[in-house]
Amino acid sequence: MGLIGTLRALLGSRGGEQAARAQIDLDRAIALHESGQLEQAERIYRTVLAAQANHPGALHLLGVVLHQRGDHAGALQSINAAIQSSPEVALYHFNRGNVHTALGDSRSAATSFAEAARLNPGYAAAWVNLGKARFELGAPAEAVAAMRRAYILDASLPGLRFDLAAALIANGDEFDNAKQLYVEAADLLREHWQESANPAAARLMFAYSLHMQDCWSEATANYRAILDANPAPAERLKAHSHIANCYNQLGRMTEALAHYREALKLDPTLTDTESSIAACINYDPATTPQDVLEAHRDWARRFSATPATPTTPATFPTQGLRPHTWNNDSSAERPLRVGFVSADFRRHPVAALCAATLERLRAHGIETCCYYNFASADIVTARLRKAATRWHNIAGLPDEDVAARIESDRIDILVDLAGHTTHNRLGVFAIKPAPLQASWLGYFNSTGLDTIDYFLTDPHSSPPGQDAFFVEKLLRLPHTRFCFEPWEFTPEVNPLPALSKGTGADGQITFGCLNNLSKLNSRVLSLWGRVLAAVPGARLLVQAQALNDAANRERFAGQAEDAGIARARLELRNFVSMAQAAMSYHDIDIALDPFPFCGGMTSFDALWMGVPVVTLERPMLVSRQTLSMLHNLNYPEWIAQDEDHYVAIAAGLAYDRVRLASVRQELRARFAASPLMDYDAFARDLAAAFRCMWRERLLAGNNTA
């Protein structure tokens, strides 16, 4: 509804109480008002008020005119007077809400619109504007409730369909497991986006609502159509950013990188987009270690206080930052206060690799302080919060505020557990709120920041020579950079599946991979095609979230066929929950590791389920995670030196069913006795690494930067 509303409705509210002359004057003023002759209408309203100062209709309409002419303060005064005279008129409260909106006071606007809706529950426009005000106040769930009410009352209100869709999407973005909200938004927009005053923006919402339902191929088609229509810069930027994220989910990393780069051209300040570029190039088999380093250094050049350069050893102080004076106790052997920053202190692979360790650090002279960068929590969050000496929720807080909190906590060593992954807080580390900073566990490469002094790794993940491709100083733990704790719902190991798929040693072998489809590039598929050719009758099982998308599943099957993997030998499975994923290994005899980005948690899960993993040795850490596990399990014979060797290892395992069955039954016990699950020893080694960092700093003799 417009600002005037149905002005003539006011006449009925006065009944017969007004003098005939005032009635005639108001009729004439309203006609002028509705025709846009605001100055003339205002003069008549003031004439009526000169004769009857508390006339509610004239006061209200004068306020509306003043509002339309930009005098919002005068409008508010006049409409407030009308409400004081006649507080039960819903339209008065409605237009007072519009004035508050113009003044930027969303809270008062929401109060006025809510009162209008209370007085007249069938007032659809009041419910719409109440929803908009609640949306501005950062309450998308309440906004959705109000707009749904309006939509039931009058779905034809201009713009309501699009406002409701926007609120649904915002509400979905705020909460986990909100797919139904995106479904509802898509249903509102599917046949109607072109009716919007801004069709490109409406179609973007439609595409995004598909995107968030995991309908990535359909979303991508809509994003492409938006880009083909040459939209305004704002819509073009969003389309490039969102289509890049879709391609990322679909496992099409070349296309994802191209669109991330286009988005960055349009807005060079997009920190997360540059982080996505840095992370995505790790999937490209043609990318060199130097290319990877340069991408991470480029992020630092754009967004941190100083450009990054490789430093060996770490330099103190860091040049170019605002001066710091850390008043930390310089004693060498005192308990150290170590802060850990992560969005993954929940049921997440990172938590499975650090929770048991964080619980044990206190016994080795380390106070753990956790800075949690995620909105929701679960049972794992509660466990880690109990283990921490201090706990702070930092989701949504500006980098500067988080840095100030860390400084006030007098953290000695601040540890990043995210790198360039989603929900990272590298902006905090660029400020350097702690005297020492380190990267560990959550990322598989240099961050590019020279404000991060160390990268925690191990001798197998980082052999000699890898130091040249890290800005941080590599500090190698004795055995492993991560310590694995299986989830409580992980099933028991079953007998070798091949033995139930044929007679004795002739049973059908199933190779498998549960990694993200983004890791399964054409070179990987070609190598796996060679493995299947070497083991006639074997099949390949692939399970990934990207296969939930029907069009993408067909695309991938075609790509595999081009690589020599016949469809009859390929089983594609949809994504399942974390609690169910390990059950897939009951159907897999041998796991095949991709490259250059090898498995992490998927390799841990496979090995814990008794499934050998064949991996290809390459120079960078991102390719050596499984290799490190196998060295710690004393199974180096599953590490291939080249592609021919990879085929030979896989085929050799497949043809020795007796040995394969034996390994399946012994692997879990060997795993449990290895450094990969020795939590006390790992906590001791990690604490010693922190102590080593601190002593090096004291030897450098600096307490400022």
* Cβ contacts of 574 within 8 Å, gap of 6 or more: 543, 545, 547, 548
Q: How confident is the model at residue 330 (pLDDT cuts 50, 70, 90)?
A: confident
pLDDT of residue 286: 86
pLDDT of residue 700: 83
pLDDT, tens digit, 9 for 90 and up, residues 120-161:
999 999 999 999 999 999 898 999 999 999 999 999 999 999
pLDDT, tens digit, 9 for 90 and up, residues 262-304:
999 999 999 999 999 999 999 988 889 999 999 999 999 888 7
> At how many degrees (to 10) do helices 124-136 and 90-102 cross?
30
Q: Show me where the domains of the chain are located.
A: 9-240, 246-300, 304-483+678-705, 497-677
- Angle at Cα 358 formed by Cα 357 and Cα 360, nearest 5°? 65
pLDDT, tens digit, 9 for 90 and up, residues 42-59:
999 999 898 888 899 999
pLDDT of residue 610: 97
pLDDT of residue 12: 45
Q: Is 688 exposed, middle or buried (0-12, 13-18, 19+ CB in 10 A)?
A: middle
Asked if residue 15 has pLDDT above 60, the reply is no
Distance, CA of 231 to chain centre: 26
pLDDT of residue 5: 46
For the chain, give the percent of residues with pLDDT over 70.
92
Instruction: Provide the residue type at 547 as one letter.
Output: L
pLDDT of residue 143: 93
Three-state secondary structure readout of 54-113: CCHHHHHHHHHHHHHCCCHHHHHHHHHHHHHHCCCCHHHHHHHHHHHHHCCCHHHHHHHH
Strand partners, 336: 366
pLDDT of residue 703: 52
Asked if residue 621 has pLDDT above 90, the reply is yes
pLDDT, tens digit, 9 for 90 and up, residues 463-504:
999 999 999 999 999 999 999 999 999 999 999 999 986 544
CATH of the structural domain 497-677, one choice from 3.40.50.170, 3.40.50.2000, 3.30.70.20, 3.50.50.60: 3.40.50.2000
- Six token digits for residue 485: 């704790």
pLDDT of residue 153: 97
pLDDT, tens digit, 9 for 90 and up, residues 550-590:
999 999 999 999 999 999 999 999 988 888 889 999 999 99
Strand partners, 529: none
pLDDT of residue 552: 97
- The mean pLDDT value of the chain amounts to 91
C-alpha 367/C-alpha 253 separation (Å) is: 40
Q: How confident is the model at residue 331 (pLDDT cuts 50, 70, 90)?
A: confident
Q: How many helices (H) and strands (E) does the chain have?
A: 29, 13
- Six token digits for residue 216: 């990535």
Asked if residue 637 has pLDDT above 60, the reply is yes
Is there a contact between 167 and 131 (Cβ–Cβ < 8 Å)? yes
Instruction: Provide the residue type at 191 as one letter.
Output: E
pLDDT of residue 13: 44
Is there a contact between 22 and 52 (Cβ–Cβ < 8 Å)? yes
**Which strand (E) or helix (H) includes residue 372?**
strand 366-372
C-alpha 291/C-alpha 283 separation (Å) is: 12
Assigned superfamily of 9-240: Tetratricopeptide repeat domain (1.25.40.10)
pLDDT of residue 502: 56
Q: Do domains 9-240 and 246-300 have the same CATH topology?
A: yes
The model carries a pTM of 0.85
- Six token digits for residue 128: 């719409």
Three-state secondary structure readout of 592-640: ECCCCCCCCHHHHHHHHCCCCEEEECCCCHHHCHHHHHHHHCCCHHHEE
Of 170-184, 321-335, 413-427, which one has max mean pLDDT?
A: 413-427
C-alpha 117/C-alpha 368 separation (Å) is: 51
C-alpha 605/C-alpha 668 separation (Å) is: 10
Asked if residue 319 has pLDDT above 50, the reply is no
C-alpha 538/C-alpha 507 separation (Å) is: 9
Q: Could you confirm whether domain 246-300 is CATH 1.25.40?
A: yes
C-alpha 551/C-alpha 218 separation (Å) is: 8
Instruction: Give the CATH architecture of domain 304-483+678-705.
Output: 3-Layer(aba) Sandwich (3.40)
- Identify the weakest region by mean pLDDT among 76-85, 215-224, 324-333, 595-604: 324-333
- Identify the weakest region by mean pLDDT among 344-348, 626-630, 692-696, 699-703: 699-703
Other CB atoms within 10 Å distance of the CB of residue 21:
11
pLDDT of residue 306: 44
Alpha-carbon torsion angle 437, 337, 461, 614, nearest 10: -130
Asked if residue 17 has pLDDT above 60, the reply is no
Strand partners, 436: 413
Q: What's the first-to-final CA gap in the chain, in angstroms?
A: 59
